[in-house]
Structure formats: structure tokens, C-alpha cells
Structure 1
Amino acid sequence: MITIFCAFFSLLTCVSGVTVVTQSPLITVRKGEQAKLDCNLGTVTDKSARWYKQTPGGVPQYMLRFYHDWSSVEYGSGFSAPKFTSTHSSKSDYSLIINNVDVDDFAVYYCKTWDSSVLPLESETVESFCTSEDVTCITVVFGQGTKLNVIDFPLTPPVLTLLSPSTEALKESKATLVCLAEDISVALVHVTWSVNGRSVTDGVWSSPTEKQQDKTFKMSSYLTVESSDWMDNADFSCEVSVGSKFTKKSISVSQC
């Protein structure tokens, strides 16, 4: 038997018509509180939701899985009740509950499910297991992850600087805008770029946060666009959020 395996979070295999697993991008809670991380399995209603924890620089750890027909949660090594549990509000809506959160819970949490209704092609956030004998595939789909910040101090909005493309860069077909975020009070942030009020993800790359001597963090995010889009006087915006606090900056060629 030959088995084809797409590595964890790799781009080696994708699928056509695969369900989309949706998670909130960022949650910030105070130390000692309860964190509730939601996951929607899309069109999948007959499979369990499985959760993984990944600390910065670490490998994903299997935490637990839960199915709406089960009476109890199945746990991975090192995870147990009452600290960790899972609930559901429908056959496709699940939640990971972390009680009495501590700084060790600071991580990115990924939700995963199975979708057997599609054929293997190409996608992101997918593992695919197929046999050459019967061409039966199990498509494993991941959400994009929820960043969990744990704080014991008041949050403050980050300070942003939005830089336009350089004159030299505009001579090429592509141009890059830079969003510098400083005085960030937590290590995990959520960055959103928009053009004329519409959110964009193509051409976006964001660096990890970097801790400073004053214990704040800084990071950079980049948006690469067609030079003609910039010269057409479109409005470009960068927003960086940390929990309920955020800062948004906008720029266009007419402002430069």
C-alpha cells in the first residue's frame, strides 16, 4: 500500500470544494480568567473537532478532541480536565475552553477536522491520506489558528508608522508598502490590510513580534501591490490589533 501524506500545515496537497474551518484570529484574556476559542467546521457535521497547541518556536501538541454525540472529551498527553475541555453549540460549532489561564497558555491554537466529501487537488491547511489501491482519501482540514494572549496589565493600542513605496520601487511593476508597529504590549497581534475599505490578503507578509528592552514588542507587515494601483490614488490601510485595542493608519499617493 502506498500512502500519500501532506505534512502538517504544508502546501503539498489541496482539495477541491473542501470545507473551510473558521477560527477567531486573536483572543486576549487576563491571567486567571477563562478563554473560549470557537471553531466552525463549515459543512462538516459528522466528524469530531481536534485541537492543537503551538507555542512560539515549538511544534504543535495534540490537546484533545470532541464530538457532539460523545459524553466526554478525549485528551492527549499532558492535557486534562478541569483545565481544558470542549463544548459544542451545534454539529459544526465547537469551542475549546481553557480555565484559569496562565502565561503558559500563551500560544496559537489550531482546530482540525476531517472532510471525506471531496477529491484531492490543491489547497492550504490540508493533510490528505490516500491509498493507491482504492483511491480512497481522508482529507484533514485545519483552521488558520487562534492566537491567545494572556495578560496581567492594561492593554494599550500599538503605535503605527505606514510607509509608502519608494520612488525607485515605483519604477518596477510591483511596489511595497510597509507598516511598522511599535509599543505593542503583547507578543501576539492581528494585522489587517485593506484597499479602498476592502480587506486584502494577497501580497501580505508579516514578521513575528520582537521583544524590546522596555518589554514591549515591535513588528513589521508588508503589502506588495501593482505599482499602477498605488499611482491610481487608492486608499491603503493597515490595522494592528491587540485584544480590544487597535490602531489603524491609512495612506495614498495624494498624501505623499
Structure 2
Amino acid sequence: MLSVFIILFITLSCVSGVTVVTQSPLITVNKGQTAKMDCNLGTVTTDAARWYKQTPGGVPQFVLMFGHSSSAPTYGSGFSAPKFTSTRSSKSDYSLIISNVDVGDSAVYYCKTWDKTVMVFGQGTKLNVIDFPLAPPVVTLLSPSTEALKESKATLVCLAEDISVALVHVSWTVDGRSVTDGVWSSATEKQQDKTFRMSSYLTINSSDWINNVDFSCQVSVGSKFTKKSISNSQCY
């Protein structure tokens, strides 16, 4: 089911005229605190925001629906007030609020709406609930191989290890500019020491590497992050 969400998001992002639903990418809070996740429905002002919870390897669960004319949310099975609620600050700006969060609330929360007859999902908000101090991950940024650079395209690999939690946010920049095209990130994998590791990949033009363009990968876990940069000139 999650693969359906991803396919829908990728497909609809290419459909001309369809609204773009945006969400905050990553939130990390301590156990017992309140988590607030924001969702903007773009050009949609008359339909509701619907929230879904997706745990790693689990089935997506409908949490609640809240519309511009609603007096209270409509809940899915297993979700109810006062722990789960929703607010709106405009006809297109909604929030999902989870009170007294527990570690089991850690998940990716997707916001969905309808743009006329088209179903549109946001990219998801990763919620980490922790009951221990966070540490920045260990990040290694690997340069493309000499063989790969003989082709027009090459790949940079960003390896993150010693991650404290299962959900992280990865961002890439090229000469200081944020990029999302050509980026693919793996899911985190739990290690024997109970930390996690993951990899993110950026497809680049080989000519950019040869011309000493600067590439950076940042892996964030809550307020803790590690950023690594690399260029051809740094490798000699």
C-alpha cells in the first residue's frame, strides 16, 4: 500500500494543473510531549485534509479527516480525541496534533486531499518519538568511480551510520542549491547494536564532477545533523 502512495505522489507531481500538497519533512519530539504536523493543500480550499499513519513495514492506517466546514474530526479505527486532533489556520492549511506521544507513535504521517476528481498525497512527515538523548549520525560521502565517470552520468553515495532512530531526513545540495531530482534514499536498516544505517544516492552529470562542482549531503535526526561536502578537487 505504501508503494501505491509513492507511485501516486510521483505520478501526480507530473500532472499539469494538479495541486501540490506540502508537509514538514521531519519532526522529533520527546516521549510525553505534543507533536504538531503541518499540511498545506495548495490550491485546494474546499476539500478536507485526511491523515494516514505508516509505520516501517506496516499497513497504512487512516487517522482522521478534518475539513474547512467541519466542527470536529472524523476518526479512523483505533484513533480518537483527545490524543489525536486537528486544527486549521486557513482553508488550505491544516495540522495534525498528537498529544502525550509515545514511542509507538513514531511513523510517517501522510496528508491527502482531493483536487476535484484527483487524489493528491503530500510527501509525508516523519515523526520520531524518543526517550533518550539524540546524537548526530556518522556520514560518509563517497565519490564516483573512475569507470562511472567515463559515462555521461555518475552517482554519489551518502552513507549514514550510528543513527539513533528509524526515521531520518536527507537533503542534497549542488553548489549550495537544494536538489531533489536524481535523489533516491533507502530505508533505514537496524543493526545489531540497535542503531540504524541507510544510504542516499544522487545522480550527477559527470561533467559537473570534472568541473569541480561542490556536492553536499546532510542527514538530519531532529535538531542533530551531519553535513558532508565533496568535490573533485578535494579528492587529490
Task: State the TM-score bracket (shorter-chain normalisation).
Answer: over 0.9
| Match of residue 49 from structure 2 | 49
Identity %: 81
TM-score (norm 2): 0.94
TM-score (norm 1): 0.86
Q: Following the alignment from structure 2 to structure 1, what is the Cα–Cα distance between the partners of residues 175 and 5?
A: 35
Amino acid across the alignment from 1:86: S
The number of residue pairs the alignment matches comes to 229
Deviation of 1:72 (Å): 1.1
Counterparts of 1:88-237 in structure 2 under 5 Å?
A: 88-116=88-116, 138-237=117-216
Q: After the TM superposition, which of the residue ranges 11-20 and 218-227 deviates more from structure 2?
A: 11-20
Deviations 1:223-255 (A, max 9, x none): 111111110110000000001111101000000
Q: 1:161 to 1:140 in 2, by over 3 A?
A: same
Larger radius of gyration: 1
Deviations 1:82-130 (A, max 9, x none): 11110111111100011111111111000011112xxxxxxxxxxxxxx
Note if contact 2:5-2:121 (Cα within 8 Å) is conserved in structure 1: no
Amino acid across the alignment from 2:225: F
The structure, 1 or 2, with the larger RCO (C-alpha pairs under 8 Å, 6+ apart) is: 1
Runs ≥4 residues deviating over 6 A: none
Q: Following the alignment from structure 2 to structure 1, what is the Cα–Cα distance between the partners of residues 190 and 60?
A: 23
Deviations 1:142-168 (A, max 9, x none): 100000001001111111111101111
Deviation of 1:207 (Å): 1.0
Q: After the TM superposition, which of the residue ranges 217-226 and 241-250 deviates more from structure 2?
A: 217-226
Q: Which runs of 5+ in 1 are unaligned?
A: 1-6, 117-137
Q: After the TM superposition, which of the residue ranges 16-25 and 207-216 deviates more from structure 2?
A: 207-216
Secondary structure of 2:7 counterpart: coil
Q: Whose helix proportion is higher, 1 or 2?
A: 2
| Match of residue 245 from structure 1 | 224
Deviation of 1:45 (Å): 1.0
Q: Following the alignment from structure 1 to structure 2, what is the Cα–Cα distance between the partners of residues 73 and 221?
A: 37
Deviation of 1:202 (Å): 1.4
